[in-house]
C-alpha cells in the first residue's frame, strides 16, 4: 500500500471503513467507548498516523464525538496526530550511547534540523524519536537506526550532519558505521 504520510495527500478512508465494518461492531455505547483506542490503532497501522478524517470516521462509526477520539489520541503518547516525516530516525538514548556522545547528536538535531523528540522536521523529511533504552548494538554507540533497517553508528555531529544531508538529497539510507569492526 502506498504510504499516506503527507498532509497534501487525500486520505483514502475506504480501508479504514472496511476494517471498522469488519471488526468493530459494538453491542452498546459502553462497548463502543472501549473500542475507540483499538480503532485508532488500526487507523495508525493503515496510515502511519491518525489523520483528522480518520478520527472523524471512527467517531461516526462508534457513535461518539470527535472530541472523545482526540481526547484518547492525545492521552496516549504512541499515537501520532501529525504525519511522520519521510525518514524515521530512532536515536538510542541508552547508557552506552549517552556516554559516547548521544547528547551532542541530539543538540545538532535540535539546533540545525529543528527536531525535538517525537518531532518532524519543518520540511517533512525527517522524524526523530529518542529511544529510552538500548537498541542492542552498543558496539556502534552512539547510534541511530534509520528507516527501521539501517544503522548509523560511531556517530559524531559532523558525520551525522553529512549522513543526513546525503539522506535528504537522495533519499537512501546507507549503513554508516564509520570504522566499525564487523
Ligand atoms: S546503549 Fe545504545 S545501542 Fe546500547
Can you spell out the DSSP letters for 100-115? HTHHHHHHHHHHHH--
pLDDT value at residue 48 = 79
Whether residue 137 has its Cβ less than 6 Å from ligand 1: yes
Whether residue 35 has pLDDT greater than 80:
yes
Please tell me the distance between residue 35's alpha carbon and the centre of ligand 1 in angstroms: 36
pLDDT at position 121 is 87
Q: What is the CA radius of gyration of the chain?
A: 19
CA-to-CA distance for 112 and 175, rounded, in angstroms?
22
pLDDT tens profile 38-69: 999 999 888 878 999 999 999 999 999 999 99
Would you say the CB of residue 96 lies under 6 angstroms from ligand 1?
yes
Q: What is the mean pLDDT of the chain?
A: 87
pTM of the model: 0.64
Region class of 163: left (phi > 0), else alpha (psi between -120 and 50), else beta: alpha
The CA 98 to ligand 1 mean position distance, Å, reads: 8
When pLDDT is cut at 50, 70 and 90, the band that residue 181 belongs to is very low
Amino acid at each position: 500500500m502506498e504510504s499516506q504520510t503527507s498532509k497534501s495527500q487525500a486520505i483514502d478512508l475506504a480501508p479504514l471503513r472496511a476494517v471498522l465494518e469488519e471488526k468493530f461492531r459494538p453491542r452498546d455505547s459502553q462497548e463502543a467507548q472501549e473500542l475507540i483506542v483499538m480503532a485508532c490503532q488500526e487507523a495508525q497501522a493503515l496510515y502511519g498516523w491518525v489523520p483528522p478524517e480518520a478520527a472523524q470516521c471512527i467517531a461516526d462509526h462508534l457513535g461518539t464525538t470527535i472530541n472523545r477520539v482526540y481526547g484518547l489520541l492525545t492521552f496516549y503518547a504512541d499515537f501520532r496526530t501529525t504525519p511522520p516525516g519521510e525518514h524515521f530516525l530512532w536515536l538510542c538514548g541508552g547508557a552506552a550511547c549517552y556516554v559516547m556522545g548521544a547528547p551532542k547528536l541530539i543538540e545538532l538535531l535540535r539546533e540545525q534540523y529543528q527536531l525535538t523528540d517525537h518531532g518532524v522536521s519543518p520540511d517533512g523529511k525527517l522524524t526523530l524519536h529518542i529511544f529510552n533504552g538500548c537498541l542492542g548494538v552498543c558496539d556502534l554507540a552512539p547510534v541511530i537506526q534509520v528507516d527501521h533497517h539501517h544503522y548509523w553508528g560511531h556517530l559524531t555531529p559532523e558525520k551525522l550532519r553529512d549522513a543526513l544531508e546525503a539522506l535528504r538529497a537522495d533519499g537512501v539510507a546507507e549503513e554508516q558505521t564509520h570504522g566499525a569492526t564487523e
